[in-house]
Structure 1
């Protein structure tokens, strides 16, 4: 039977139990079977025990030693900034407060006060003592500003945030393939943080790579939840993993693990006109002027870059390790990339949490094309942003640290040049800043183009096309691919004929370069886009 409690701030008896829940006060979820909570059967509300007051009595707190703190049950007073003076989280209903100093802390900071002395901190070789007062300082471990309650070592004249005294020494982050370690001060130099892309002050602490002499990261950036998996690796031997995807047989000849039948031969210095029927098995994009590996006995082709894809890698969209999926079991399965939301069929990367990336997005750590934008773009945060190439608001965008410019993964992985039936020449990707003056209409759909968005154009003929009209929804699926599902046969068709098929769903002629053809009971149905195909009921 659950233990019951009568606490002064709630009108009903509370019970004590272990279970998955979300705390009414701090709004954080508990780990199932590892945290106890107080709950009310009648109100269906639950709290962490440390997020509620135990008594109406004032408390003494080491971070505010001059005055006692009183319990407030209706939130912080209106004259306060409504943030906890220690952890800076937004205050909720229960608050410890000093009217004389306008000092407020939440229940967790009040019921779990920091220790007065830390004998063996990770950040320093000596014991540290809490300075329980308001004082402006710069933390020696992370280099950021603090306003109160530092931990100090007076003989060494150093100060640390409470959150920084146990920063992990050795960690893996999702922006680098090697381990990085914490130290202070850092090696002198003009370093830029590899995550936020801001300058690093080497007077203070940070993380660096022992194998890469110019890789440095701010302490706060390296330990972000979206960057670090939370595992301290000090004392744990590093595993040596072979990530090479092929064996070299001789110069220009490899045995690739994704093609067990035959060796692949490197093809150099070629230009394949009309290469629409030759597509890379990994990324599904056409093979034209790029170096590539080819099987002389069958139609298996890999871009040289795709042939060198590592078997494992890290990526900024997950803290886990991504594993390359290839071969018959995976290349014959459709997937949706969690970065660009394109459907794909070919090689992909997947981590243990189920995040799936196509090989183009998985290989994209930054975007640098001066003709499209003068600065380099990086994945600095995982906040939402508006892509200035297409105008859509996306969760994951690459950002420019020099100006307010963002680009989503779908636009960042667009082909720089592409062949389309609307023109005899290759179409070139251009930014909105390069749009010609006046009004222009898309050569394919004949609708007006937006001069502020990216577009495709022919430098010889001057035609202008919408990006979506040139690429369609099935850019990462090879034409000719046939899939079967029970009594249905699905095929990705290449729309290269004058008599374009009519879409079964919307009734218009398919204007995109690829379409879905579904054969059901010997009857053919055509779908011009992913949206139209999803409307079909099979």
Structure 2
């Protein structure tokens, strides 16, 4: 069965009775499981997925929230023709929230309603309240939600007990599972969470200031309602079919994941026994190179590892005729890796041609982790980062924060959806800055350079010894302590530091 869809006129969308990929629906931006439509052409594979219900939405609609004119179905990219607005979220006039899901719009009045709001029932039964709730009659008036405590527009109320709640809060289940935590999270009143300060949401790493939250009492893990409900965070599984004991282990502890050595990745050809009695692999065959690699201690000047594209440090493997170098640690990377940034297991591969990392956004080459379901690539440095970092640039621990909104990096001031955030203050780092090498080399300088986070003195005048331009004292820089050779990070590493 095929469907010619207005959003993708190039090819028909093909029906799938039981889609299991979990890719996001173009219509409602929720994971796709079950009946769906998608484009199966090779150049479109992985795109234009729709739930069956979203693909079959009516192109026109008469709705009581805007009775004067008919509404037309659109998506944000075809509706906003202003270049400054392109790609941003559209705001719903009913719920007051922003989203990039399909909406119905009145072009005369600039009225917009999300498809989820357009299909809400007049009455619902929800897990968060014992009585049936009735939808407000589309009066766009502010109210305070009795569940989260925040103001909003669209709401349901209980006739019996004067209880009012956001439509989105009404959809909160009593229990759910997020990728970032091993156990189910339970809806819990904030007052019952026994912490010395306001609980911190460990998904976005900000304080929880709502009446209710999702919480694991076993691990003291807290999360905002809407953070836990995000498709990028929520794990869609049937909790009723699983026993609590099944959550005691982590995916990262799966024996098929995080293998220390895999023969398909690295085969040891020769070994020697060290002074401590431990065998050392002196010659290997690594999947990233056609020739055997030999263990070497002498470091060539200004040479980068072909795997992680960072300065070579001892010990490392080398193919001298090809000038191919590989850190010993890079030769032992696991074949399969699970990471909170991506829902599916990631497979180690090698690509000489540049690719864009899905986490830091930089052009990279060399070793990468790839999702074979989504065909998404990640730089190995980003995937090898743990969820919690302790860095010399900041006095507190930094926690991985994944949100649906852009967050500013305190170092470079660029925005990203993935950052490492401090739970104590407003300090945050994007993955590009978090993976900057502590020590590196510059091809026109004989000594190694160290990453510095604060000005080298209090002179008030700071310049780069490479470009001779002024340096911002708030920005990080590299410096040779022996020669007092300060320089911009970009001047030392180049415009594409992860491409060899």
SS in 2 for 1:414: coil
d(CA) in 1 for partners of 2:445 and 2:377? 35
Gaps of 5+ in 2: 9-25, 29-47, 73-90, 272-277, 281-296, 319-323
**Aligned equivalent of 2:132, options 120, 128, 143:** 128
Q: CA deviation at 1:422?
A: 4.2
Contact residue 84 and residue 91 of structure 1 kept, 8 A: no
Look up the match of 2:68: 71
Match of 1:195 among 185, 190, 203: 203
The alpha-carbon deviation at position 417 of structure 1 amounts to 1.6
Tell which has more relative contact order, 1 or 2 (C-alpha 8 A, sep 6+): 2
- How far the C-alpha of 1:425 sits from its partner, in A, is 3.6
Change (3 A) 1:242 1:386: same
| Matched residue, 2:62 | 53
| 2:41 matches 1:34 | no
Q: Tell me the residue number matched to 1:344.
A: 365
Task: Give the counterpart of 1:311 among 328, 336, 339.
Answer: 336
Partner Cα distance (1:283, 1:459) in 2: 26
Give the equivalent residue in structure 2 for 1:6. none
Give, in angstroms, the shift of residue 359 of structure 1: 1.5
Task: Name which of 166, 191, 211 aligns with 1:161.
Answer: 166
Q: What does residue 182 of structure 2 align with?
A: 178
Distance in 2 between residues matched to 1:331 and 1:83, nearest whole Å: 43
Secondary structure of 2:382 counterpart: helix
Q: 1:293 to 1:153 in 2, by over 3 A?
A: farther
Tell me which of 345, 355, 363 is aligned to 2:376.
355
Instruction: Supply the RMSD in Å over aligned alpha carbons.
Output: 5.0
Shift in Å at residue 362 of structure 1? Answer: 1.7
Shift of the alpha carbon at 1:469? 2.9
Pair 1:311–1:438, CA change in 2 (3 A): same
Q: Does 1:285 align with 2:310?
A: yes
Contact 2:186 2:215 in 1 (8 A): yes
Q: CA deviation at 1:347?
A: 4.0
**Partners of 1:33 and 1:324 in 2: CA distance:** 28
CA distance in 2 between partners of 1:347 and 1:117 (Å): 47
Q: Does the aligned pair in 1 maintain the 2:258–2:337 contact within 8 Å? A: no
Structure 1 counterpart of 2:5: 20
Q: Which residue of 1 aligns with 2:225?
A: 219
Q: Which has the higher strand share?
A: 2
How far apart are 1:357 and its partner, in Å?
0.9
Task: Find the residue that maps to 1:379 and give its secondary structure.
Answer: strand
TM-score normalised per structure 2? 0.61
Pair 219,70 (structure 1): closer, same or farther in 2 beyond 3 Å: same
Q: Residue 426 of structure 1 corresponds to which residue in structure 2?
A: 448
**CA distance 1:356–1:117, change in 2 (3 Å):** closer
Match of 1:413 in 2: 435
Q: Which runs of 5+ in 1 are unaligned?
A: 1-16, 39-47, 62-68, 76-81, 97-103, 248-253, 478-491, 493-538
Residues 263 and 163 (structure 1), Cα distance of their counterparts in 2 relative to 1, 3 Å cut? farther
- 1:161–1:445 Cα change, 3 Å: closer
**Residue 321 of structure 1 corresponds to which residue in structure 2?**
344
TM-score by length of structure 1 reads: 0.57
Cα shift readout 1:413-456 (whole Å, capped 9, x = no counterpart): 11012233544443111236557535454334455544443210
The alpha-carbon deviation at position 221 of structure 1 amounts to: 0.6
User: Residue 433 of structure 2: SS of its match in structure 1?
Assistant: helix
1:257-303 deviation digits (Å, cap 9, x = unpaired): 62123488688xxxx774658866752434537xx7989xx986433
Whole-Å separation in 1 of the counterparts to 2:357 and 2:446:
32
